[in-house]
Amino acid sequence: MKHCYGFCLLCHNFQKLYNYICPLCRAEVEALLYQGENCPLCGQPLLHEDSICLCDQTGPFIQRIAVYAKEMQHLMLRYKKTGVKRLGYFLATLITHYVPKDLRLIIVPVPCSRSSRKTRGWDQMVYIANIIGRTTDHTVCKLLERTGNSEQKGLSRSQRLTEAPRSYFLNERQWQLHAQKIEACHAIVVIDDVMTTGSTLRTCIAKIEEVIDKPIVGLCLAMD
């Protein structure tokens, strides 16, 4: 946790900052975090504790952290589009809050497309994963790679569903490199930023599941 005085990266007011964000902006983001019940099988937030989820109960568990709206949307756009890299520290704390400290976990970031890495100069989830790796005992493993230049953005729902499985593959070298830690871990956590249909996270989890026999969960910062 980094405490200092300065200009808030979201509202630009001079304040005491928490990971570069002022208490007011932090409270606005935290108001968008899912607080209620979620389906124990798929992670989908439930409207009421007695509601029943309509999932087919076969999918992986995906923890949704916040609603992609208002200040959360502002935060994500500032981080990804404007390229305010330091916002990654605050986003990393949102994730570590949901990741049990006492478990040995492998953190796998969903890689961004080659074209957006080229434009931005860095990969947004890899950057966040590396912060988590430095501030916790969990191991970061870049197990996944992206094929081609295709962006999911702008694709229709059905296009996304057919495109996603073709877009990711396993990085064998990273797998070998971390083989011992993967063998000894309690679970693998695949992290992503914004989830729309969930096809990306489901695909990524399925790719890992094909070769690694460990519990695998997904975690996304915001659900659109």
Q: Could you say whether residue 44 binds Zn ion (CB under 5 A)?
A: yes
Q: Could you say whether residue 53 binds Zn ion (CB under 5 A)?
A: yes
Contacts with Zn ion by CB under 5 A: the residue count is 11
Sole residue written with tokens 């568990």:
61
Closer to Zn ion by Cβ: residue 90 or 168: 90
17, 25, 112, 132: which one binds Zn ion (CB under 5 A): 25
In angstroms, give the least distance from the CB of 53 to Zn ion.
3
CB 158 within 8 Å of CB 115:
no
Q: Stretches 11-19, 65-73, 123-131, 174-182: which one binds Zn ion (CB under 5 A)?
A: 11-19
Q: Could you say whether residue 11 binds Zn ion (CB under 5 A)?
A: yes
CB 20 within 8 Å of CB 28:
no
Q: Could you say whether residue 75 binds Zn ion (CB under 5 A)?
A: no
The 10 Å CB-count burial string (b at 16+, else e) for 73-111 is bebbeebbeeeeeebbbbbbbbbbeebeeeeebbbbbbb
In angstroms, give the least distance from the CB of 84 to Zn ion.
12
Q: Could you say whether residue 223 binds Zn ion (CB under 5 A)?
A: no
Q: What character string, x for contact with Zn ion (CB under 5 A) and - otherwise, covers 176-215? A: ----------------------------------------
Q: Stretches 43-51, 79-87, 101-109, 176-184: which one binds Zn ion (CB under 5 A)?
A: 43-51
Give bridge partners of residue 5 from the DSSP assignment: 16
30, 34, 41, 196: which one binds Zn ion (CB under 5 A): 41
DSSP for 129-172, please give it. Answer: HHHHHHHSSPEE---EEE-SS--STT--HHHHHHHHHHHEEE-H
DSSP for 163-183, please give it. Answer: HHHHHEEE-HHHHHHTHHHHH
Q: Could you say whether residue 9 binds Zn ion (CB under 5 A)?
A: no
Q: Which amino acid is at 29?
A: V
Closer to Zn ion by Cβ: residue 52 or 213: 52
Query: Positive or negative CA dihedral for 113, 162, 72, 44?
Result: negative
Chain residues that interact with Zn ion, rule: CB under 5 A? 8, 10-11, 22, 25, 39, 41-42, 44, 53, 55
